[in-house]
Chain A
């Protein structure tokens, strides 16, 4: 019997009221708009989108770091089951142990005035997970070793470390409370390419060895393609497509996903596939287009798209698309290597 998913979001909406000063009129911004998504236990779930897609907000909402305006989010592991939209203070404190966040900026995420040991130990102290200093130290050392940080490193301050190392410290801090879910928000975007793979491999090892589920938020599709088992694509606060990774990259079903994939510059200089031109700019999230939010830039837009918003529907096993006419398109892509490098 399969275990229940670690996260189940239904019709989740996160809205903010914007307006300057006391008396200005306020506009409503739906950063996340009616999103329903399921993250299986032990999965490495990718969430991709461009700026304004709401992916960061969705990740924060799952951690209750952003307000849940409408809908429900349910977290479940072997011990507890929480309804995040309606959670009590004590339960929320417990949830903090089980769900953690890794930030994008390795320089801003670590307090520069604390030693590495204190940074990693802080969650233990705040959450009261250990009773003695010796216990704390032992746990810190255990987790640090998993992230390839040795004893010498623990005595130092963050300014002594490079970006990749700091990210590993961030990861260690997230792991120390024994979470079952980790949200990695653009965790490798600020790192050099030659170091990214190192951090990604570490995350995969954590998933494998500790059975932790990941929500991996990224704008970099190539990275997502390599580390995630499922992918969800967001546009202007809504999910446009979800699928297992391989299937999504071999045959995207939504025009936006197809355009995204074709926009990635290929490493092959002779690959003269033209990127599908996406016309115009991303609309403002405070004033989204009616009907299908993507229709203003979609080359297949028809009358129905302007008036009726498509629901996210299951078009094939495990494949969900939010497009009225998804069945008509074939965006199959060649994924075999085009030219030999090594």
Chain B
């Protein structure tokens, strides 16, 4: 029935490597196990890379963008201009340096007072790197070097809007703004959720009941009317920065009930675990139990919750700014940029206004995939039950 098999002896070097690999697994902490699992998830790793790239683009936006994204940096001669893609070769020959064509514009009675753009293929404008340009502040210091620019005139990779502002620059800055709003909002939600959800989950009973009722009440508040009311209250004198903070804080306030509920659920489950009882039987106080056992037990889940909340906050802000209740010019965000896209003129003629949308889709999707990957990786111990 069954055969007699001979297995070849395992080479010593392999056995040693195997032993070390196993030992590494045995001594791996939770963080290391989660990272190992995350790495195996290809879509999550790709999303993670995309996310990091976008974040870097946002952080270094002033350097990467050739011009100031506000009115100060606009190109009066090229309003509503189409994207100018650099090229290497044309009929006149190829060049090592990428270049774009100059454009001339005219409008007159003949053209119905519309701007007609003519590309002058004789006028080559070479792209240069590390050019001097508009001043900007980054990390508290002032610089004026930009990654690229052209020797004559201006280059607009994504075109311009009706005031002549460079859409490429605005996109990068908008990424930064949205991330900043997101971070601030998430931080506020995080702190509130931890405290409120933590108290509810740890103590249970009546305290939990009351907090639950309050949380549910807040969740039922409809966002749009709330913001409309708040928008009416915001004084006009407030600077855009103040407005920015205010919006972020409000969004954070709207979002904490969801997170708090998650915290509470995690705590309710973990609180009844036997290792918590073991700690109580050692006479450990609530502080020790929370700090040493409960908090670490759901840190991984909580990080997942945070990462997944991010896109919601970004989208909330986008939606609010789009309908005019959130941020306003000169502060730049996707919502603000989309405010101008609702006319038929834009839809028919100036489609490049929508290019930033792809960046935001990428940003949100990256967050979602990373969050999902983290969630899948976050329970490294689930596989070890009998």
**Which A residues are closer than 8 A to B by beta carbons?**
22, 63, 65, 92-93, 96-97, 100-101, 103, 105, 107-115, 122-123, 126-127, 152, 155-157, 159-160, 163, 170, 173, 177, 190
B222 within 8 A of A: no
Task: Assess whether A101 is in contact with B278, with CB atoms less than 8 Å apart.
Answer: yes
Answer whether A177 and B282 are a contact pair too, CB < 8 Å, given A107-B384, A110-B275, A159-B384. Answer: yes
Task: Assess whether A111 is in contact with B29, with CB atoms less than 8 Å apart.
Answer: no
B273 within 8 A of A: yes
Answer whether A108 and B273 are a contact pair too, CB < 8 Å, given A122-B282, A126-B279. Answer: yes
Q: Which 7 A-B pairs have the closest CB atoms?
A: A160-B26, A96-B283, A156-B26, A108-B274, A111-B275, A123-B282, A109-B274
Q: Name B283's contact: one of A93, A114, A190 (CB within 8 Å).
A: A93
Q: Identify whether the interface residues of A are mostly helix, strand, loop, or mixed.
A: loop
Q: For B277, what are the chain A residues with a Cβ–Cβ distance below 8 Å? A: 65, 101, 103
B70 within 8 A of A: no
Task: Assess whether B282 is in contact with A96, with CB atoms less than 8 Å apart.
Answer: yes
Q: For B384, what are the chain A residues with a Cβ–Cβ distance below 8 Å? A: 107, 159
Would you list 8 pairs from A and B whose C-beta atoms are within 8 A, ordered by A residue? A63-B281, A101-B281, A109-B275, A111-B297, A122-B292, A126-B284, A157-B30, A163-B386
The complex places the Cα of A52 from the Cα of B33 at a distance, in Å, of 40
Bin the interface of chain B by size: 20 to 34
Q: For A173, what are the chain B residues with a Cβ–Cβ distance below 8 Å? A: 278
Task: Assess whether B26 is in contact with A157, with CB atoms less than 8 Å apart.
Answer: yes
Q: For A97, what are the chain B residues with a Cβ–Cβ distance below 8 Å? A: 283
Task: Assess whether A109 is in contact with B278, with CB atoms less than 8 Å apart.
Answer: yes
Q: Which residue of B lies closest to A177 (CB)?
A: B282
Task: Assess whether B29 is in contact with A113, with CB atoms less than 8 Å apart.
Answer: yes
Q: For B296, what are the chain A residues with a Cβ–Cβ distance below 8 Å? A: 113
Task: Assess whether A103 is in contact with B279, with CB atoms less than 8 Å apart.
Answer: no
Answer whether A65 and B280 are a contact pair too, CB < 8 Å, given A113-B30, A156-B26, A157-B27. Answer: yes
The complex places the Cα of A181 from the Cα of B83 at a distance, in Å, of 81
The complex places the Cα of A22 from the Cα of B207 at a distance, in Å, of 12
> C-beta contact mask, B220-245 vs A, less than 8 Å → 1, else 0?
00000000000000000000000000
**Which B residues are closer than 8 A to A by beta carbons?**
23, 25-30, 33, 206, 209, 273-275, 277-284, 288, 292-293, 296-297, 380-381, 384-386
Q: Which of A92, A159, A160 has the most CB of B within 10 A?
A: A159
Answer whether A157 and B29 are a contact pair too, CB < 8 Å, given A93-B283, A105-B274. Answer: yes
Task: Assess whether B380 is in contact with A159, with CB atoms less than 8 Å apart.
Answer: yes
Q: For A156, what are the chain B residues with a Cβ–Cβ distance below 8 Å? A: 26-27
Q: Identify whether the interface residues of B are mostly helix, strand, loop, or mixed.
A: helix
Task: Assess whether A157 is in contact with B28, with CB atoms less than 8 Å apart.
Answer: yes
Answer whether A65 and B281 are a contact pair too, CB < 8 Å, given A108-B274, A112-B381. Answer: yes
The complex places the Cα of A105 from the Cα of B280 at a distance, in Å, of 17
The distance from the CB of A31 to the nearest CB of chain B, in whole angstroms, is 16
Q: For A103, what are the chain B residues with a Cβ–Cβ distance below 8 Å? A: 274, 277-278
Q: For A112, what are the chain B residues with a Cβ–Cβ distance below 8 Å? A: 30, 381
The distance from the CB of B299 to the nearest CB of chain A, in whole angstroms, is 9
Q: Which residue of A lies closest to B278 (CB)?
A: A109
Answer whether A96 and B29 are a contact pair too, CB < 8 Å, given A107-B386, A108-B273, A113-B296. Answer: no
Answer whether A22 and B26 are a contact pair too, CB < 8 Å, given A103-B274, A108-B274. Answer: no
The distance from the CB of A98 to the nearest CB of chain B, in whole angstroms, is 11
Q: For A127, what are the chain B residues with a Cβ–Cβ distance below 8 Å? A: 282-283
- Given A93-B283, A114-B292, 7 other A-B contacts at CB below 8 A? A65-B280, A101-B277, A110-B275, A122-B279, A160-B27, A173-B278, A177-B282
The complex places the Cα of A241 from the Cα of B256 at a distance, in Å, of 56
The distance from the CB of A290 to the nearest CB of chain B, in whole angstroms, is 33
Q: Which residue of B lies closest to A105 (CB)?
A: B274
Q: For B26, what are the chain A residues with a Cβ–Cβ distance below 8 Å? A: 155-157, 159-160
Q: For A160, what are the chain B residues with a Cβ–Cβ distance below 8 Å? A: 25-27
The distance from the CB of A205 to the nearest CB of chain B, in whole angstroms, is 22
The distance from the CB of B238 to the nearest CB of chain A, in whole angstroms, is 45
Task: Assess whether B381 is in contact with A159, with CB atoms less than 8 Å apart.
Answer: yes
Q: Which residue of A lies closest to B283 (CB)?
A: A96
Task: Assess whether B27 is in contact with A155, with CB atoms less than 8 Å apart.
Answer: yes
Q: For A109, what are the chain B residues with a Cβ–Cβ distance below 8 Å? A: 274-275, 278
The distance from the CB of A18 to the nearest CB of chain B, in whole angstroms, is 14
The distance from the CB of A140 to the nearest CB of chain B, in whole angstroms, is 14
Q: For B209, what are the chain A residues with a Cβ–Cβ distance below 8 Å? A: 22
The distance from the CB of B129 to the nearest CB of chain A, in whole angstroms, is 49
The distance from the CB of B268 to the nearest CB of chain A, in whole angstroms, is 15
Q: Which of B30, B206, B278, B292 has the most CB of A within 10 A?
A: B278
Q: For B281, what are the chain A residues with a Cβ–Cβ distance below 8 Å? A: 63, 65, 96, 100-101
The complex places the Cα of A283 from the Cα of B282 at a distance, in Å, of 35
Q: Which residue of B lies closest to A65 (CB)?
A: B281
Q: For A159, what are the chain B residues with a Cβ–Cβ distance below 8 Å? A: 26, 33, 380-381, 384
Q: Which of A63, A105, A113, A156 has the most CB of B within 10 A?
A: A113
Task: Assess whether B275 is in contact with A108, with CB atoms less than 8 Å apart.
Answer: yes
Answer whether A113 and B297 are a contact pair too, CB < 8 Å, given A157-B27, A157-B29. Answer: yes
Task: Assess whether B288 is in contact with A126, with CB atoms less than 8 Å apart.
Answer: yes
Q: For A177, what are the chain B residues with a Cβ–Cβ distance below 8 Å? A: 282
The complex places the Cα of A65 from the Cα of B282 at a distance, in Å, of 11
The complex places the Cα of A107 from the Cα of B382 at a distance, in Å, of 10
Q: Which residue of B lies closest to A93 (CB)?
A: B283
The complex places the Cα of A127 from the Cα of B29 at a distance, in Å, of 25
The complex places the Cα of A111 from the Cα of B298 at a distance, in Å, of 12
Task: Assess whether A126 is in contact with B283, with CB atoms less than 8 Å apart.
Answer: yes
Q: For B28, what are the chain A residues with a Cβ–Cβ distance below 8 Å? A: 157
Q: For B274, what are the chain A residues with a Cβ–Cβ distance below 8 Å? A: 103, 105, 108-109
The complex places the Cα of A152 from the Cα of B23 at a distance, in Å, of 9
The complex places the Cα of A111 from the Cα of B284 at a distance, in Å, of 14
The distance from the CB of A260 to the nearest CB of chain B, in whole angstroms, is 27
The distance from the CB of B272 to the nearest CB of chain A, in whole angstroms, is 10
The distance from the CB of B156 to the nearest CB of chain A, in whole angstroms, is 52
Q: For A115, what are the chain B residues with a Cβ–Cβ distance below 8 Å? A: 27
Q: Which residue of B lies closest to A191 (CB)?
A: B386
Q: For B385, what are the chain A residues with a Cβ–Cβ distance below 8 Å? A: 107
The complex places the Cα of A85 from the Cα of B206 at a distance, in Å, of 26
The complex places the Cα of A173 from the Cα of B385 at a distance, in Å, of 21
